[in-house]
Amino acid sequence: MLTQHRSVEVTRSRRVEPQVRSSRSVQDRGSGRPEIAESWKRSAFFGLHPASNYDVKQTSEIDSSSRLRRAAEPVLAEMQHQLTGTEFGVILADPKCRIVATLFGGSATERRLLSSGALLGSSFAEDRVGTNAIGTTVELRHGIVIHSDEHFLDQFKGFSCYGHPIVHPVTRRVEGVLEMTGIGARANPMFVPFMTRAASDIEKGLIDGVHASQQLLIDAFQRVSSQNTIAVSAIGEDIFLSNRVALDLLQMSDHATLRAVAADLRPNQQRTVRIQLSSGEEALVRAEGVAGTDCGAVFVIRSDRRTTNPIRRAQAPSSSAHERSQSDLARLRDLCDPVAISGEPGTGRTTAVRKLANGSTTVCVDAATIAFEGADSWAERLIAAKADTTAKVLVVENVQLIPDSLLPLMVGLVEAVGGPRVVVTSTPTGDLPPGVAGLVGRCPGQVLLPPLSQRTREFADIAQSLLNAIEPGLILSFSAVEALASRDWPGNLAELAVVLRTAACRRSSSRIAVADLPEKYRVAPRVAGLGGRARAEREAIIDALEECGGNKVHAANLLGISRSTIYLRIRALKITLQ
């Protein structure tokens, strides 16, 4: 081991203060190896300068019972024995590049590292520290040696390091970084095999840690769920538990809301929040983070009777907006009166027309073509359609686009006796111009189609039904439904159908997973909890990146923000790039 190879330790070299040559740009420095050169460019894009001073204060609290820490404890204990008497230090960092454990073989290395900011909770991500063996390892997803002068910040140039990623054997996610540091110009050649073996031992421990983490969550759930009159759920990274009361109360889309709450909890922290369930009922949720479970939490859910109206025993619960619209369509199907079908684009207005027509011969005239045909030609076609004796139903789509000059014609059409039944479609009545709103109001039959964002209770069934129509036999995974249900869906059913069609083409099995969804729809639980402005900002950045082929610099120029800002916002908003 390391203590058996003292002969290959690097002799301490006299520290040479770095000098910035004016003839070379910051991006060109450190260009001896391509990986280092690219890291220097990223560091400069983050707004860092070699002379910048790293803020050494602790940045966040650390969960000492996390799965990574538990898996690493026996390995770190063995490494401590092997480091004793040497001038090396070992740092364990989590996936966010935060230091969660440190080991020191000698006091000199300990003093130098601590004074440089290697404190528990400090972040060594590239956007804060520049090129270093922790942040750069996370960026590259493989081990890398950083010799002294290859560090971006001058204050770290006295150290030479090697960082090795800790990759989960099953999920293949980077769970952390194990980094070794020495004082000198060149890294000790024993760094690589020594740290590779240690990281491999920690990775094996992660498998056992999964079972331990799940058992901790199960124990916490059982302590609370013994009261069978209240709704109790528990959510971990790879596990979901629920008692019978919670199963009756919660829908699949409610799980995304609970995950968002859990993502903001610290271990053993309690918080009570008010949420709206998919059923429309409001509830008070007491959430408690469970230490050692990686964002696991137990939830006690109680109906908030202060904000809901009690339901009398003789009455059934009120139906959803979608159920009411389908009931209206069924009631109006056998009548002859004019009908107005309104709803946001993509909510299924054309499908509703087909249900209303019930197989009858239909002729359709779309007001969207007025801009191309001209008002006079379009009016002639409308009159001819009204006179068509073979048609049973005359559909005028998008009446919100009809100019005021044609409204008298439309009013006469709606009020005329005889001829095909008139059905008009439009955007929601609250968004219509006054004249068109008056036209729609003249239709005795009214059907309002709710937007997809208001159909959370049935979202899973809607998505699966659309997927069945696209390719029978495919199934949406729980995680995929959870990610999709957390979105706003401005394009409604039409947008969802496009997303599912794309996922069906990408999938590698009969089950649609989150990875099969288009990039901007792979919403993480923490993203699902973002506010409206943050989510809008996230989507704008994703759109700009897609338009620029993933080039962050070009995307920043397109958005009118600095390169360092887009890097910071990509991290803050949890945007992942293909």
CA distance 528 to 99: 27
2-209: CATH class: alpha beta
pLDDT score recorded for residue 17: 38
CA distance 214 to 205: 14
pLDDT score recorded for residue 532: 53
CA distance 205 to 216: 16
* 376-390: average pLDDT: 91
pLDDT score recorded for residue 551: 81
How sure is the predictor about 513, in pLDDT bands with cuts at 50, 70 and 90? confident
pLDDT surpassing 50 at residue 511: yes
Range with the poorest average pLDDT among 128-137, 155-164, 264-273, 358-367: 264-273
How sure is the predictor about 152, in pLDDT bands with cuts at 50, 70 and 90? very high
pLDDT top residue among 253 and 401: 401
pLDDT score recorded for residue 5: 38
Q: Could you tell me the CATH superfamily of domain 321-449?
A: P-loop containing nucleotide triphosphate hydrolases (3.40.50.300)
pLDDT surpassing 80 at residue 32: no
pLDDT surpassing 70 at residue 528: no
pLDDT score recorded for residue 257: 78
Task: Identify the residue whose tokens are 């990274």.
Answer: 237
Beta strands in 398-531 (DSSP E): 421-426, 445-448, 475-476, 511-512
* 164-185: average pLDDT: 88
Q: Which residues of the chain form CATH 1.10.8.60?
A: 455-572
* 430-453: average pLDDT: 90
pLDDT score recorded for residue 23: 31
pLDDT surpassing 80 at residue 451: yes
pLDDT score recorded for residue 481: 82
- According to DSSP, residue 11 is labeled P
How sure is the predictor about 27, in pLDDT bands with cuts at 50, 70 and 90? very low
Of the chain, the percentage scoring pLDDT greater than 90 comes to 31
Q: What is the CATH number of domain 455-572?
A: 1.10.8.60
Q: What is the DSSP string of 80-141?
A: HHHHTTSSEEEEEE-TT-BEEEEEESSHHHHHHHHHTT--TT-B--HHHH-S-TTHHHHHHT
* 123-135: average pLDDT: 91
Range with the poorest average pLDDT among 101-115, 345-359, 434-448, 559-573: 559-573
Q: Which residues of the chain form CATH 3.40.50.300?
A: 321-449
pLDDT surpassing 60 at residue 123: yes
Element (H, E) at 274: strand 270-276
pLDDT score recorded for residue 16: 36
| Contact of 481 with 461, CB cutoff 8 Å | no
pLDDT surpassing 90 at residue 396: yes
* 318-343: average pLDDT: 84
* 315-326: average pLDDT: 63
Of the chain, the percentage scoring pLDDT greater than 70 comes to 83
pLDDT surpassing 90 at residue 255: no
| Contact of 577 with 141, CB cutoff 8 Å | no
* Burial category of 22 from C-beta neighbours within 10 Å (exposed 0-12, middle 13-18, buried 19 and up): exposed
Q: What is the DSSP string of 139-184?
A: HHTS-EEE-GGGSSSGGGTTEEEEEEEEE-TTT--EEEEEEEEEES
CA distance 340 to 442: 9
pLDDT surpassing 90 at residue 40: yes
CA distance 299 to 232: 6
Range with the poorest average pLDDT among 94-103, 314-323, 393-402: 314-323
Task: Identify the residue whose tokens are 């922290």.
Answer: 269
How sure is the predictor about 394, in pLDDT bands with cuts at 50, 70 and 90? very high
pLDDT top residue among 435 and 514: 435
Instruction: Determine phi and psi for 534, rounding to 5 degrees.
Output: -65, -40
Tell me the CATH number of domain 226-303, given options 3.40.1350, 3.30.450, 1.10.3470, 2.60.40: 3.30.450
In the sheet that 159-167 helps form, which strands lie side by side, from edge to edge?
A: 99-104, 88-93, 174-183, 159-167, 144-146
pLDDT surpassing 60 at residue 221: yes
How sure is the predictor about 457, in pLDDT bands with cuts at 50, 70 and 90? low
How sure is the predictor about 574, in pLDDT bands with cuts at 50, 70 and 90? low
Q: What is the DSSP string of 345-362?
A: TTSSHHHHHHHHHTT--E
Task: Identify the residue whose tokens are 């401590």.
Answer: 80
* 420-435: average pLDDT: 91
How sure is the predictor about 84, in pLDDT bands with cuts at 50, 70 and 90? confident
Q: pLDDT tens digits, residue range 180-219?
A: 999 888 888 888 888 999 999 998 888 765 666 777 888 8
Is 273 strand, coil or helix?
A: strand
Report the chain's mean pLDDT, rounded to a whole number.
Answer: 81
Q: How far apart are the first and last CA of the chain?
A: 39
How sure is the predictor about 29, in pLDDT bands with cuts at 50, 70 and 90? low
